[in-house]
Amino acid sequence: MRTELVLAGACGLYCGACGIYRMYRDQDVERLQYNAEEVFHCRPEQIRCEGCRGPEEYRWSPRCAIAGCVAERGHTFCFECAQFACEDLAAFSADRLDLPISNLRRMAEVGLEAWLAEQEVRWRCPACHHPVDIYSRACRTCGAELTH
């Protein structure tokens, strides 16, 4: 599988901006420790993700309901479905700043490669250009304020 596909969730999320992916990929020890203890109740080394389409043993959620639905219907992304944007996707999107649905619409409009290139630029700190996640309000590398 092409590497860039790994970072494009069937739901429309860009894995490169996912907090779980970022803390694992960046080996952000402070965030890994906090999330392991306070959020996920696991060991920090159990928080790992190589992207939604990466190797199953390195996906945060190998049994993702949305990915399962898309695969069952023979699609790659939700926007390919006749029932786009279904109730389940709408609820999922609402909990994630409505990015999944808007991302899927954009992906359908410009194509996967162009969308991935846009996401790569969008989810970088404007000051130091380090990758950032959707929930960070300041860059964890340089401290610059982020506006998403």
pLDDT, tens digit (0-9, with 9 covering 90-100), for 3-47: 555 799 999 999 999 999 999 999 999 999 999 999 999 999 999
Rounded to the nearest angstrom, the gap between the alpha carbon of residue 126 and the centroid of all alpha carbons in its chain is 20
The reply to whether 144 falls in a domain is: no
- How many domains does the chain fold into? 1
C-alpha–C-alpha distance, residues 138 and 64, integer Å: 29
What pLDDT score does 30 carry? 95
The reply to whether 136 falls in a domain is: no
| Residues near 130 by beta carbon (within 8 Å), at least 6 away in sequence | 124, 139, 140, 141, 142
What pLDDT score does 1 carry? 45
What pLDDT score does 4 carry? 55
Angle, vertex CA 95, rays to CA 90 and CA 98, nearest 5: 60
C-alpha–C-alpha distance, residues 77 and 69, integer Å: 10
The reply to whether 14 falls in a domain is: yes
The reply to whether 107 falls in a domain is: yes
The reply to whether 47 falls in a domain is: yes
pLDDT tens digit sequence for 35-89: 999 999 999 999 999 888 877 788 787 778 898 899 999 999 999 999 999 999 9
The reply to whether 134 falls in a domain is: no
**Domain of 37, in residue numbers:** 3-122
The reply to whether 143 falls in a domain is: no
The answer to whether 56 and 1 are in contact (CB under 8 A) is no
17 C-beta neighbours (distance < 10 Å), count? 23
The reply to whether 131 falls in a domain is: no
Of 111, 140, 145, 115, give the one whose Cα is nearest residue 27: 140
C-alpha–C-alpha distance, residues 148 and 134, integer Å: 7
What pLDDT score does 58 carry? 80
- Residues 91-113 have a mean pLDDT of 92
What pLDDT score does 5 carry? 59
